[in-house]
Amino acid sequence: MKIDWLKVCKKIGKESSKELMRIYNSGNRRKEMGRGFGGDITIEADKKSEDIVIKNLEKLNVCIHLISEERGEIKCGLKEGPLYYVIVDPLDGSFNFKNGIDYFGVSIAVLDSNYGYVIGYIRNAVNKDEYYALKGKGSYKNGKLIKPSSAEISRNTLFEISPKASRADFEFLIRSFLNSRHNRGMGAVVLDFGLVADGTFDALVYAGATRFLDVAAGIFLVRQAGGIVTDFSGNEQIHKGTKLISRNIIAAANRKVLENFLKQRFILEQK
């Protein structure tokens, strides 16, 4: 049985976003429910959104290896049959969510049994913007084909940094920050990828990434839109299978934008 993964992702995205907004608007945004697989505190919104993901996946007549923030790696659907890897962040931007900042969302990436991308899907839970990329068919925002900007250097840059970033990575971010006119740190990296893919921003510089689920859908979205995603040295292999192998990521609108960032990195390394 062939699965319409776009239809599945849209259904999950819509239902999860609706539940996230219900909790968000209830004023009970900080309710804790223990700790997730990775050791982080799980809030009710994380759990409820993930439950919706699992409920929908279990209905499919395929074997699914789910990788998600709260439960880690589990199998659902059929015990045998066509295998898919589904990588989900049920709530990216949890700090924003807890503190009443209207920028958070849901991301889903589906890989086939050979770890080839089938779809990358991202939904902004607040304004309902929906991004998706299909293999060989480009990237879309709310059903319309999108392309990154044609800028030759990044004047509008998104920055994200985690506590896992090294001092050298931090110094690179500072240099990149000083070479860009408009800089933002939005706090939900999955949505940031969408803003690069649609040309709103020229690049995203992310230092200290620790989980593939944070970037899985976004990498595919930017690349299918025509952008470039590499590590801070220009290597395009960010992951191997479902494992993240690079902690630092640049998502650039085009080759010229990327090369400008890599030049700044080279200058730092010569010091």
216-248 pLDDT, tens digit each? 999 999 999 999 999 999 999 999 999 999 999
Query: Domain locations in the chain?
Result: 5-128, 156-269
The encoded tokens of residue 249 equal 């990521």
Q: Compute the distance between CA of residue 229 and CA of residue 201 in angstroms, rounded to an integer.
A: 14
pLDDT tens across 167-180, in order?
888 888 777 877 78
Q: Which residue has the tokens 């409820």?
A: 48
Phi then psi dihedrals of residue 252, to 5 deg: -115, 150
User: Does residue 89 have a known ligand-binding role?
Assistant: yes
Classify domain 5-128 at the CATH class level: alpha beta
Q: Compute the distance between CA of residue 79 and CA of residue 62 in angstroms, rounded to an integer.
A: 8
- In this structure, the number of other CB atoms found within 10 A of the CB of residue 189 comes to 22
User: Does residue 51 have a known ligand-binding role?
Assistant: no
Instruction: Fold for 156-269, please state it.
Output: D-Maltodextrin-Binding Protein; domain 2 (3.40.190)
User: Does residue 214 have a known ligand-binding role?
Assistant: yes
Average pLDDT rounded to a whole number, residues 117-124? 98
